[in-house]
Structures are given as structure tokens and as C-alpha cells.
Amino acid sequence: MCPMKSESQAKFESKMKGMIVSVLLVAAVAVSEARSGTHFRYVTEGECPTITNKQDFDPVPVSDGVVEVHNVARKADGNFTDIVGTAVVLEPGVLYVTFSGYIPAEYHVLDTDYESFSAVYNCLQLGPERFEYAWILSRSQTLEQETYDHARQVFANNGIDITAFHSTYQGDDCPYLR
């Protein structure tokens, strides 16, 4: 006869099963992207680097440990897109981010000054290939050159190839939260 599980053990196991399913779904999407030739990530051969998350990262939760994530971006056609999601802290510097209609993913916060920039990274290893996302997120249309250089150096210090980084034109018509 098996011993009964506590409520907290059952909740933990349920969360872990959900996370495992999410990881498998991310892997399936990445394989699908690779097969279709549509890459939403930087794909190279090699191992995902060993990174150092911002250990003293302190997001401001909106309620019950949940953090709101709001991304605004300019698409290649010049139009804007924005999305609002939620995140929970998995460990220092690591957020598990969920946007409606998308597969959840980890955001590894490598550095932030909480005022002007955040350096965020994600890498998924599938066999010999790694699928990477890297963002320098800003709260304004431009960054001071010193801040931009610092953010790029954070990636380089973590073994992340910054040669594929490209700037995104923001323009005066870019909608930002104030």
C-alpha cells in the first residue's frame, strides 16, 4: 500500500508535470521551426553557454508572486505589436513567462538597472543545435551608449555571441508605457 501524498506534494508534482509538458512543447516547436526553415531564434551548432543570472533580481509582483510582463515591438513591416503576459520567479534571475496563445518560456535576466535596460536570454539545446533568444530591453526609444555597451558586454561575459545582434529602429511613433 502506498502512503498518501500531502497536498503540497501533489501541487508540486502537478506543477512539475506542467513544466515538463511545457518543455516538451517548446522542444516540439523548436524542431518544427528548424524543419520548416522558419527560425524565430538564433540557431547554431554548439552547447548552450553556462550563464550567470542576476542573483539579486527583485521583480515587483502585481499579486501573489505574479509579475506582469508587457512587451511592445516593431515588426519587420513597420507595424507595432504588443503582448501582455505573466511571470513567476523560478529562481533568482529566472522568470517563467506565459503569454496567452504561446508556449511558456524562461527569461533569464542576466542584468538590469530597473530603470533603463534589462539583458534577457534564453537557450534551448536540441541535439547538436542550440536555439537562442537574447534581448536588450529598454523602457525608452534609445539607450545611452554606455548603457548599451554595458548590456552587450553582459552577454559577451556570459559566452553569448553578440555578433548576430541587430538594433531595431524605434522612431518617434513608437508607443511606450509611461
Q: What is the per-residue pLDDT across 3-53, written as a single tens digit (0 to 9) for each?
A: 444 454 444 444 433 333 333 334 333 333 333 333 345 788 999 999 999
Q: What is the per-residue pLDDT across 96-142, written as a single tens digit (0 to 9) for each?
A: 999 998 889 999 999 999 989 999 999 999 999 999 999 998 877 77
Strands 66-74 and 42-45: unpaired
Residue 21 DSSP SS3: helix
Q: Which CATH superfamily is domain 41-157 in?
A: Calycin beta-barrel core domain (2.40.128.20)
pTM over 0.75: no
Q: Which residues contact 65 (CB under 8 A, 6 or more apart)?
A: 88, 89
Q: How confident is the model at residue 169 (pLDDT cuts 50, 70, 90)?
A: low
